[in-house]
Amino acid sequence: MFIFLYYNAMSGSKINVAKQAIKYIEKKLHPEMILGIGTGSTVNFFIEELKDFKHKFAGAVSSSEASSKLLNENGIEVFNLNDVIDISFYIDGADEVSPQNFLIKGGGGAHTREKIVASASNEFICIVDSSKMVNSLGTFPLPVEVIPESRSLVARKIISIGGTPNYRTGFITDQGNHILDVHDMDISNPIKLEAMINNIPGVVDNGIFGLNKPETVLVSE
């Protein structure tokens, strides 16, 4: 019973913040507008709300195959980023949000494409429930996407800078790569650490959103 009530409460919070995001962008929608859409359970609720407004915008660029499938199922056209010049808003969730709006993302393994679409957008709107708000990043393990052949090398390099990497067994990203979930990292300087990890040969991208942090964070209680 407790688990069922907790699930309903979490779902209610996600629906609430999805509705907040719709309210935030609704009056700004126009027929030529392209939206950027993230990945994850909160974004799934946002897509369900967004379908009622699909006649007011052109379509979306998606950050994952899962979100693309859900967008198509709801009658929202999905565009390739290469074919799009302007993305007005990027809407996505997060695993952790700091007081400075720095994020950890990638619990669903889609952070590389999420960061690409976020960087291509005019405004990044992060939608989360209050449990994702933290005083400092790092309780949630930091996902690092790696080329499969480099996984052991990258793991050793991460250990050398203080992290404890765990291979996400059985998971393959949309790009065909692996994920290391890194515990015990000092993320007091997110921008510096984001660049440091990304400079390790074999790393595709990591889940710190420092340079690409959201301009707007909407929080559901």
CATH number at residue 117: 3.40.50.1360
In the chain, DSSP assigns E strands to: 34-37, 59-62, 78-79, 87-92, 96-97, 103-104, 121-129, 142-146, 164-167, 178-183, 203-206, 208-209, 216-220
pLDDT of residue 11: 82
Whether residues 127 and 196 fall in one domain:
no
Assess whether 78 and 170 both reside in one domain: no
Mean pLDDT by 10 residues, the chain (221 residues): 48 93 98 98 97 98 98 98 98 98 98 98 97 97 98 98 98 98 98 98 98 97 69
Task: Let me know whether 57 and 122 are in one domain.
Answer: yes
Backbone angles phi, psi at 50, to 5 degrees: -70, -30
| Whether residue 95 sits in one domain with residue 7 | yes
- Per-residue model confidence (pLDDT) at position 9: 56
Q: What is the pTM of this model?
A: 0.93
* All residues at 6 or more sequence positions from 137 whose CB lies less than 8 Å from its CB, including other chains: 96, 98, 102, 103, 104, 187, 190, 208
Q: Which pLDDT score, from 0 to 100, does residue 8 have?
A: 53
Same domain for 121 and 175? no
Give me the active site residues, please: 114
* 216 in the same domain as 198: no
114 and 152 inside one domain = no
Same domain, yes or no: 33 and 88 = yes
**Do 106 and 50 reside in the same domain of the chain?**
yes
Are residues 166 and 112 part of one domain?
Answer: no
* 48 shares a domain with 120: yes
Provide the CATH number for the domain around residue 181. Answer: 3.30.70.260
The verdict on 51 and 112 lying in the same domain is yes
Residue 148 structural domain: 142-206
What's the structural domain count of the chain?
A: 2
